[in-house]
């Protein structure tokens, strides 16, 4: 397979992670970055072409990408950008608003099928790897439910999608959202109870928000706790902090999570499946997963496939740089 040319579309935390990840994937090369704010990106990056994201036909012709890794935010960016960009080039994205994935899939599938491109959507660690683990657990233990828990440690885990959603609120200058798993609920699953949880039974959300000096904090709080999908279903605590406090106490991007399922085999032997990830850097981990999916997207495209795909539709060997012979010999 020839070297895969990758464009990074959108340059924030995940975009930076993709650049770092490409350094560790010698079968890929960074063809360029496209952004809505190229001047901002050029201040941080040199020796890489940086073009305006909206000029899609121009950057596709100039940079000749095999695939674009879309690193925009899930709340406002990807719902507009993906269906537009996949009209011209294969794409991969990490859209993470779980409840909207069916509609998002339909919209992107329509655009990518019409253009003959491959668009791998909603991948990362969750949705993404955890989605696959949920499906595997449920398939191997029929009748079981697979549950995802996040933020297992004392400080919880930083959710980038929820932090991104907070930063879209008027009057919010910066923000971080830590997810905390409710451990009593994990125990119920491990005990084989297969409980019917509401989202709020499984996690709490703690927000640290830097508000503009003239902002109405009560209004911001109401907007946060009532935000559909992101915060409304959870017990959500909003703490207003200074920019300095946010920087000092809440740095880095740690996150972790667990997929856990309990069921039975045969006539009642208890069985459990667990899969755990721990990330020192959530955006770098997400980026590594996106890059492996970019490889898979190009392979699917080279087979003449088109339309939208999720991790569930892709054979795991397509993610790997290893040959079929190597996989059979060393990894089975």
Interface residues with ligand NAP (CB under 6 A) are 10-15, 35-37, 40, 53, 71-74, 77, 94, 96, 124-128, 160-161, 164, 282-283, 286
To ligand NAP, the closest distance from the beta carbon of 13 in angstroms equals 3
Nearer to ligand NAP, 50 or 206 (CB): 50
In this structure, what token pair is assigned to residue 215? Answer: 């902002």
Q: Would you say 296 and 66 are in contact if contact means Cβ atoms under 8 Å apart?
A: no
To ligand NAP, the closest distance from the beta carbon of 104 in angstroms equals 11
Nearer to ligand NAP, 4 or 14 (CB): 14
Nearer to ligand NAP, 72 or 307 (CB): 72
To ligand NAP, the closest distance from the beta carbon of 78 in angstroms equals 7
To ligand NAP, the closest distance from the beta carbon of 20 in angstroms equals 13
Nearer to ligand NAP, 125 or 178 (CB): 125
One-letter-per-residue 3-state SS of 277-303: EEECEHHHHHHHHHHHHHHHHHHHHHC
To ligand NAP, the closest distance from the beta carbon of 218 in angstroms equals 25
Q: Would you say 279 and 288 are in contact if contact means Cβ atoms under 8 Å apart?
A: no
Nearer to ligand NAP, 49 or 192 (CB): 49
To ligand NAP, the closest distance from the beta carbon of 74 in angstroms equals 3
CB nearest ligand NAP: which residue?
12
Any idea what DSSP says for residue 313? G
Nearer to ligand NAP, 161 or 307 (CB): 161
Cα separation, 95 vs 104, whole angstroms: 9
User: Would you state the torsion angle of the CA atoms of residues 96, 210, 240, 203, taken in this order, to the nearest 10 degrees?
Assistant: 10
Residue 242, classed as helix, strand or coil, is coil
Q: Would you say 37 and 15 are in contact if contact means Cβ atoms under 8 Å apart?
A: no
Cα separation, 130 vs 136, whole angstroms: 10
Cα separation, 297 vs 68, whole angstroms: 10
Task: Report the chain's C-alpha Rg in angstroms.
Answer: 21
Nearer to ligand NAP, 8 or 206 (CB): 8
- The total of other beta-carbon atoms located within 10 Å of residue 182's CB is 17
């Amino acid at each position: 397979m020839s070297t895969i040319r990758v464009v990074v579309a959108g340059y924030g935390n995940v975009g930076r992670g993709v650049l770092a990840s490409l350094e560790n994937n010698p079968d890929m090369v960074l063809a360029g970055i496209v952004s809505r704010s190229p001047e901002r990106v050029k201040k941080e990056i040199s020796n890489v072409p940086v073009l305006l994201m909206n000029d899609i036909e121009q950057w596709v012709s100039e940079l000749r990408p095999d695939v674009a890794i879309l690193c925009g935010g899930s709340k406002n960016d990807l719902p507009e950008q993906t269906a537009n960009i996949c009209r011209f080039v294969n794409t991969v994205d990490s859209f993470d608003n779980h409840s909207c994935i069916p509609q998002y899939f339909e919209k992107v599938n329509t655009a990518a099928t019409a253009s003959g491109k491959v668009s791998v959507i909603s991948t990362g660690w969750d949705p993404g790897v955890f989605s696959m683990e949920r499906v595997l657990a449920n398939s191997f233990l029929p009748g079981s439910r697979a549950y995802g828990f996040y933020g297992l440690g004392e400080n919880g885990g930083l959710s980038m999608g929820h932090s991104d959603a907070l930063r879209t609120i008027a009057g919010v200058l910066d923000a971080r959202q830590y997810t905390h798993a409710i451990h009593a609920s994990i125990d119920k699953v491990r005990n084989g109870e297969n409980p019917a949880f509401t989202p709020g039974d499984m996690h709490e959300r703690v927000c640290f928000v830097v508000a503009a000096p003239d902002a109405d904090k009560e209004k911001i709080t109401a907007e946060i706790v009532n935000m559909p999908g992101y915060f409304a279903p959870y017990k959500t605590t909003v703490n207003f902090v200074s920019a300095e406090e946010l920087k000092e106490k809440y740095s880095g991007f740690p996150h972790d999570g667990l997929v856990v399922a309990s069921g039975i085999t045969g006539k009642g032997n208890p069985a459990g499946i667990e899969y755990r990830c721990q990330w020192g850097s959530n955006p770098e981990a997400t980026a590594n997963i996106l890059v492996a999916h970019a490889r898979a997207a190009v392979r699917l495209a080279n087979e003449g496939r088109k339309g939208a795909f999720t991790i569930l539709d892709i054979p795991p060997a397509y993610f790997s740089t290893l040959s079929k012979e190597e996989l059979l010999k060393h990894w089975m």
